[in-house]
Structure 1
Amino acid sequence: MIPMFLLGALALLALLTQVGIVVIERRYPARGQAIEVDDATINLVDIGAKHASKPPLLLIHGASSNLEAMRHPLGELLAAQGHRVLLVDRPGHGWSRRTHVQDSTPAVQARMLNQALDKIGVTSVVLVVHSWSGALGTRMALDFPERVAGLVMLAPVTHVWRGGVGRYNKLVTTPLLGPLLAHTITLPLGLGLLDPGARGVFLPQPMPDDFVDQSATPLLLRPREFLANAHDLVTLKPAVMEQMPRYGDIRCPVTVISGEADRTVFTDIHSRAFAKAVAQTRLVVIPDLGHMVQNAAPDLVAAEVSRMVAELGRVPEAADALTK
């Protein structure tokens, strides 16, 4: 029998969560176009030069974030340099919804994003992916090679690592208990943890004081997104294990940019191992740089992206080269 005071506390937390959702969504409203695909609605923002001869750039955020984390400063910088920049909320994150919370793997999300690009008439892109989406970018290059003209990975997850992804994420993916936690304590508790958590990911660089607000990170605390994020993290390791043996099949040009001081996604385990597996990889490792490569070194990342685009030439030529 659950004590009445506990039921009352849970009811109060659930009410506070619903109020919090309204406040957060008003503070960070949807910006972009909603694209319907199988089992998901993809939120996409299109900025920069719309009719440039260069291939569009598709920027994809990592875990615990949304497209705003890739917009400032990197996406805006690339758009100002004359690139067409597509910013996307991964399925289940930001303002992208997915029908099934279990659609958490890079393979499933690669299919959804591939369909979204079809819907807007984009034939091929240069992917610029961060962290969790290193696994997503490689999966897109493997499953849809005609779509991926080039791949730029920032502090990417590519290989199996020791350990897990946090006990709370495991709890949140537990049937019944997980949704209960997500709809009661996650938002009230998480509001106080967002800032220190983000600062830890930035180390050894300082986090910009306005990062949490500018990146719309509080959207993560909404129950549906928190559940999706937890499933993404819990299923990532077996998904990476499954696709690792295929890396040698990647044919597009690849650039990997990582920090030697990254303690979130270790460069030795992931970036260096990937560069050994994929011969055409250009590996750039920056001393004293942490995990947030796009924030700490946006000019360097933009220069590497522009270098790749220049080498690819026009989109049709790049697509033809991939099919030969």
Structure 2
Amino acid sequence: MAGSVREFASAGPGSFTGAGRNRPTRPWKPEFAAGNGQLGSSNANSLPESAKWTPRKANSPPVTANSTPGNHYLGCTTEAFSMTRTSGNLTADETSRFADLEDLRIHYHDTGARTAAAAARPPLVLLHGGGPGASGWSNFSQNVAGLAQYFRVLVVDQPGYGKSDKPVVKDGVWTFNARVLDALLESLDIPQVHLVGNSLGGGTSLKLALDFPDRVDRLVLMGPAGGALNLFSADPSEGLKVLFSFYAPPGPSIDRMKNLIEVMTYESKTVPPEVLEDRFAAATTAEAMDYATRLYQAFGPDGDGLPEELWRDVDRIQHKTLLVWGRDDRVLPLDGAFFLLKRMPDARLHVFPRCGHWAQLEHRDEFNRLTVNFLASS
């Protein structure tokens, strides 16, 4: 079943088949494909109740906890805040999980709550972008160990990507993705999360905040697709043209993947060599090519599909939000950030110099520090 391509009609922001905030009549139970599904959970279970995290309603004061030995909480010294420390084995295989949600199978990575700090805070969900060969681990593998010191981290393969099923949604991709993410969190008994969303994942983050506001605590949006309008730059951008042409005749090639990575970054030499090979391999499987070509045909520059205009509703998002942008982003240019900064009631903006569309990779340690400080501050 995993990796199959099926068509889904768009629906409202409730269950897969209807609108509203209704929950399914039977609870979804995730099926774990690797490990025992409890990585790191023993740490959280051994904590006193006063140290465990409880959710809060959107836009309410944050939950805080006193600092513990080891400087897990913010307010620690710069020396103690090291992005290179790890808490055990955090490999792709060790953290790999599957959840069966009705007739859709979603793949994700789960670090578990590995520290007292992680158990005392909302989990952190990382949502990747939509380029060819993208997946949660390919986008965020370099960030997981650092972030897992402070949060239970879930790295999700969104529908159509990685090891998740590949349903082709005829319209409302972000609406569909948000419903799937809500269902995944429900299956894991996670009432509320922080979100880090890059590009396509930024659009999913915005839509989850709009349709399921109590699911979201805080947002970190990295060049979120659908959320902004280019004020001065051409549309579609240079980067989007490269992305949408990847599967065009005569078909994908390693040179096209090199060109894609080049346009995604300020300096492509910052990208590990294996990323090129891994993403090309992932992008050229039969299932990935079928999904992506149909999606790009519908929503690319020559398609007749209409992507959701999330920018029309971002003023309704009351959540505390950090906008992260690369000054040299050629996919979703920087001028779009100022649209969001103006429209979102509680947004602030951080711009990385010498940075393209992949801030989490090009400025890994600074991005991790920035994210943790924002999400864990009062």
Q: Which runs of 5+ in 1 are unaligned?
A: 1-27, 173-177, 313-324
1:304 aligns to what SS in structure 2?
Answer: helix
Q: Which amino acid aligns with 1:132?
A: L
> Residue 55 of structure 1 corresponds to which residue in structure 2?
122
Report Cα offsets for 1:98-131 as digits up to 9, x if no partner.
Answer: 3445366111111011101110111111000111
- What is the percent sequence identity of the aligned residues? 23
> Residue 170 of structure 2 corresponds to which residue in structure 1?
102
> Residue 163 of structure 1 corresponds to which residue in structure 2?
236
Q: CA, structure 1 residues 124+231, in 2 after alignment: closer, same or farther (shift >3 Å)?
A: farther
> Residue 193 of structure 2 corresponds to which residue in structure 1?
125
Alignment RMSD (CA, Å): 3.0
Q: RCO (CA 8 Å, sep 6+): is it higher in 1 or 2?
A: 1
The answer to whether residue 287 in structure 2 is matched with residue 224 in structure 1 is yes
**d(CA) in 1 for partners of 2:216 and 2:144?**
18
Q: CA, structure 1 residues 106+278, in 2 after alignment: closer, same or farther (shift >3 Å)?
A: same
Count of aligned residue pairs for this structure pair: 270
1:92 aligns to what SS in structure 2?
Answer: coil
Conserved? CA contact 1:254–1:282, under 8 Å: yes
- Equivalent of 1:194 in 250, 257, 269: 257
**d(CA) in 2 for partners of 1:168 and 1:244?**
21
**d(CA) in 2 for partners of 1:286 and 1:53?**
30
Q: Which amino acid aligns with 2:129?
A: G
The answer to whether residue 346 in structure 2 is matched with residue 273 in structure 1 is no
TM-score w.r.t. the length of structure 2 is 0.64
CA offset at residue 78 of structure 1? 0.8
2:306 aligns to what SS in structure 1?
Answer: helix
CA offset at residue 286 of structure 1? 2.0
Q: Which runs of 5+ in 2 are unaligned?
A: 1-91
**d(CA) in 1 for partners of 2:308 and 2:341?**
16
Conserved? CA contact 1:104–1:228, under 8 Å: no
> Residue 353 of structure 2 corresponds to which residue in structure 1?
287
Q: Which has the higher helix share?
A: 1
Q: CA, structure 1 residues 52+103, in 2 after alignment: closer, same or farther (shift >3 Å)?
A: farther
CA offset at residue 140 of structure 1? 0.7
Alignment of 1:17-56 (within 5 A): 32-50=96-114, 52-56=119-123
Conserved? CA contact 2:218–2:319, under 8 Å: yes
Q: CA, structure 1 residues 40+235, in 2 after alignment: closer, same or farther (shift >3 Å)?
A: farther
**d(CA) in 1 for partners of 2:242 and 2:374?**
39
Q: Which amino acid aligns with 2:150?
A: G
> Residue 207 of structure 1 corresponds to which residue in structure 2?
270
1:43 aligns to what SS in structure 2?
Answer: strand
> Residue 175 of structure 1 corresponds to which residue in structure 2?
none
Q: Which amino acid aligns with 2:361?
A: N
Report Cα offsets for 1:1-30 as digits up to 9, x if no partner.
Answer: xxxxxxxxxxxxxxxxxxxxxxxxxxx989
The answer to whether residue 179 in structure 2 is matched with residue 111 in structure 1 is yes
> Residue 369 of structure 2 corresponds to which residue in structure 1?
303
1:195 aligns to what SS in structure 2?
Answer: helix
2:145 aligns to what SS in structure 1?
Answer: helix
Conserved? CA contact 1:204–1:261, under 8 Å: no
**d(CA) in 1 for partners of 2:294 and 2:245?**
8
Q: Which amino acid aligns with 2:283?
A: L
2:270 aligns to what SS in structure 1?
Answer: coil
Report Cα offsets for 1:235-261 as digits up to 9, x if no partner.
Answer: 3883342x2221111111100111111
Q: CA, structure 1 residues 36+83, in 2 after alignment: closer, same or farther (shift >3 Å)?
A: same
CA offset at residue 35 of structure 1? 1.1
